[in-house]
Amino acid sequence: MKKRVILWFRRDLRLADNPALRAALDGDFDSVVPVYIQAPDELGDWAPGGAQRVWLDDSLRALSNALEALGSRLVIRRGPSIDALDTLIEESGATAVYWNRLYDPLTIERDKAVKQHLDEQDIETASFRANLLYEPWTVETKQGQPYKVFTPFWKAVSGRGHDAPLAEPERMPEVWSRIGTLSVDDLALGPTLNWDKSIRETWTPGEDGAHDRLERFLDAALNGYDDDRDRPSVAGTSYLSPHLHWGEISPRQVLHRLDEWLDDHGGRNVREHADSFSSEIGWREFAHHVLYHFPDTPTRPLDPRFEDFPWSGDEDGLACWQQGQTGIPMVDAGMRELWATGYMHNRLRMTVASFLTKNLRVAWQHGERWFWDTLVDADLANNTLGWQWAAGCGADAAPFFRIFNPARQGERFDADGDYVRRWVPELAKLDAKHIHRPWAAPASALKSAGITLGTTYPEPIVDLKASRREALDAFEKIKN
């Protein structure tokens, strides 16, 4: 009797360095049935947002094409996951289901239920580490506790090293023709209104797109990474975050390729840049570590004092922030880049998050939710860690008194104003001296640039100095 195994794809949309796929191919099976199951209800409030769905639409098409090139095909079903797997087991005669592990709370809960159900049906199950270098339960302090600070966490794990990535299979078994499938179109992942064109023009989802992006970064940007990664007007970062989120490339592949590249190109200075880049992979690991050990943090602050923080509830300010109409150029540029491309430079993520949570004193959960819906790389672990860091209430959080001045951020990291001019074209003709503080520009400079504050570009919706003081006063109320 032929033995078949179901390979359950989730956020591991690649064929190379896919441990569940490799185990399925190396096992005692005659056939492998790859399946993707659409089951957003199982993820509750954290089902993929609009920008993520656009990405997933293209990524599934890329995976389907890659499987077909190897002689296989992608079977697509709708959830619930247990029902979909039961049906596919009956249709295929599969005796096993393999998958790669994920670490967000609702997925862990779902996967435990799936495993228990399949075990009761005498279906073999196996799961594998594919999306992290170090699983959260394998890392702890000397006191046996999870880490809450990045530096000692990364110091503890970065010396462990990592195995070489698994190769992509050369061929895969044909999937039985009688096994039906939905098409990617049937999942209706794209938007009903045509707002996604610029996202699709900006990105190339899929495994090939991920590796192309990595190679471009290594060849064009790594050697200046420490200097350029904070400058949003230049392509100084890797832009790998959405590819990592969807598992189109693994962190092990990234670091392994980095090591190979350094062997061919690396001098001392380049290696220093490479160490800085590697630490960003470390931050991703740390984010998943924190989320696993503190699963309530997507909605509740890690620092319990912030349960009583006097947030302003400024709905008008939140709306202006979302629309990039705050009158603060660096904030508006970041928010408009986000809306247009599904992405925002990390320097801007910190800047706009500080502005929302401290200058406007809008609760961080509102910003977290907006990012979730608009970022192509929205990842629950990274998103939660970043917003709690900015608000001062999470792991390794910025001290509450560290409040980014967005005008100074612009003057420091966008000194020529190129980034603001690109995303806030109303200010394009304003000179670099005043572009980050148009409210302080002399009337003559505004007139020559064709700017009328309050008409062609908003007046600031908040006074930066006064709102900073109010934020510090609010913190004093919960400090002890």
Q: Which residues are catalytic?
A: 280, 283, 311, 346, 364, 387
Integer Cα distance of 144 and 139 in angstroms: 9
Amino acid, res. 327:
G
Q: How far apart are CA 421 and CA 164, in angstroms?
A: 44
Contacts 24+ apart (CB under 8 A), 116-124: 117/82, 118/85, 121/86, 121/89, 123/89, 123/94, 123/95, 123/96, 123/97, 124/5, 124/95, 124/96, 124/97
Q: What is the distance between the alpha carbons of residues 115 and 107, in angstroms, rounded to a whole number? A: 12
DSSP count for the chain of H helices, then E strands: 20, 5
What backbone phi and psi angles, to 5 degrees, belong to 190?
A: -75, 160
Listed residue (110, 136, 472) closest to 297, CA to CA: 136
CB atoms within 10 A of CB 440: 10
DSSP 141-176: -TTS----SHHHHHHHHGGG--PPPPPPPS--PPPP
Q: Burial letters for 261-293: b for 16+ Cβ neighbours within 10 Å, e otherwise?
A: bbeeebeeebeebbeebbebbbbbbbbbbbbbb
Cβ neighbors of 234 (< 8 A, separation 6 or more) are: 228
With beta carbons less than 8 A apart as the criterion, state whether 80 and 113 touch.
no
